[in-house]
Each structure stands twice: as C-alpha cells, then as structure tokens.
Amino acid sequence: MAKFPLIPALGLIVILALSGCAATVAPQLNPIPYYTYYPASLSVVTQAARQALPQAGMHLAGVKQISPDTVEVHGFDPEGNAILITLHAESAAVTRFTARIGLIGHLKEVEEIEHWMGKDVGKAISASPPG
C-alpha cells in the first residue's frame, strides 16, 4: 500500500517537467491561423507577399489566384516547412492576410513575413499619388 502515494507524486513530477518544456516551445507555436488586415488592395498586398518571403529568408514557390477576391502565396522556410499565405480582399482598399507555416504555425516566422510585408505595403501606399 505504500507504493500508491508514490505514483501520483511521480505523475505530478512528469507533468511539471513536461510543462517546463512546453513553456519554452509555446511562444513558437501558432495553433490557429495568424491574420491581420492591410489598408491596401489585393494586388499591392500580393506583391508585398511575393517580396516578403525572400526578404525573410524563405523561398517563394508560387502564387495562385483562387477567386477574384482571394490569392494564395506558397513557399517554404529553410527547414522545408510549407508556407501558405492566403490574401482575401475585404474591399477595394482592405486585404486580409492569413498565414500558416507547417502543421503547428511557427508564429515567429509568420511574424517575420508580416514584418517585411508591412514595410513593402507601407512603401507602396506612400508611393501612390493621393486620390
């Protein structure tokens, strides 16, 4: 009977040890698609996505027009994880950006892509003549 209290204690130790490991990995994980909105047309944001992947050290594999309002940008990161960026025109001047890398998201890398996209979209917006 003395062994039974030892089992829950060992279980608790294992859980605590694993939770420590998860804490170091968790900031990298993105279990849901990451998204943001850009105040620019679908074509401007698509061009920014094409430029952002190489700027972020990733490879652009291709761009596919899914519908008049939706474009997919495909690529892969240096580790070979698939990148899927979906761009959807919410209006003529607003585009929604959604991205996933691999199965678990890789939030840090997605944020790196978004950083470069933001710079490129900002340049395109500032270069366009006021309307």
Q: Strands 70-76 and 59-67: what pairing?
A: antiparallel
Q: Is residue 50 in a domain? A: yes
**CATH number of the domain bearing residue 77:** 3.30.160.110
33: domain range? 28-127
Q: Is residue 6 in a domain? A: no
Output phi, psi for 111, to 5 deg: -65, -35
Place of tokens 């998201």: 105
C-beta neighbour count of 84 within 10 angstroms: 14
Predicted local distance difference test score (pLDDT) of residue 78: 92
Q: Is residue 36 in a domain? A: yes
Q: Into how many domains does the chain fold?
A: 1
Q: Is residue 18 in a domain? A: no
Give CA–CA dist 40/123, Å, rounded.
11
Q: Is residue 7 in a domain? A: no
Predicted local distance difference test score (pLDDT) of residue 17: 46
Per-residue pLDDT of the chain (131 residues; tens, 9 = 90+): 455 555 555 454 544 444 444 333 444 444 555 688 999 999 999 999 999 999 999 999 999 999 999 999 999 999 999 999 999 999 999 999 998 888 776 788 888 999 999 999 999 888 876 65
Q: Is residue 115 in a domain? A: yes
Place of tokens 């500032």: 126
pTM flag (> 0.75): no
Contact yes or no for 73/49 (Cβ under 8 A):
yes
Q: Is residue 54 in a domain? A: yes
Q: Is residue 104 in a domain? A: yes
